[in-house]
Amino acid sequence: MLILASQSPRRKEILTNAGFEFEVRVADVDESVVGMECPRDYVCRLARKKAFAVPINMGEIVLGADTTVVVDGEILAKPEDEADARRMIGLLSGRPHTVITGICLRHAGGEIVDAETTLVHFSSLSAEEIAAYAASGQPMDKAGAYGIQGLASKYIDRIEGCYFNIVGLPIGLVWRHLRTIE
């Protein structure tokens, strides 16, 4: 049985659409960056913390995941408020950035920790477009202040890599690792 250590509706939807049967056990962990942590280490550490923050029973595999957006080496977590969302979208406007999702699969035989990186190219946005998007409320629970599957979809010129990684769960990577466990 797969256990998702996340309350993310997007991760639940990705797993459901891919045909996985799973149970949700919410992991409550501090998502602060530690020191000069690089983005890949940051998301892998959080994915591992989430996977180990929930109970596990015999025969279960716990999936922890964490996603962040990185531009110019800066980790863009979830915005604190609308002004922070405007700042983040302003940083992304007209530029490429990376989205990194760390995963951890905890099982009886140990753990598998890995990450997926996708390059995203954002269109140039006017100050009015940035303000309107920030005011929509959609940026507030998303790393980097945007969700590719929502209103921000029109701002994406192209991506290089896994679409589902940007949404929050690189399902192909998860599947490949699950096959080595079962």
Residues catalogued as catalytic? 66
- The continuous run of DSSP H or E covering 98 comes out as strand 96-107
- Cβ neighbours of residue 69 under 8 Å, at least 6 residues apart? 75, 76, 88, 92, 97, 98, 99, 143, 144, 145, 146
**Residue 42 identity (one-letter amino acid):** Y
In the chain, which residue ranges form alpha helices assigned H by DSSP? 9-17, 39-52, 82-92, 127-135, 163-167, 171-181
Q: How many Å apart are CA 172 and CA 177, to the nearest integer?
A: 9
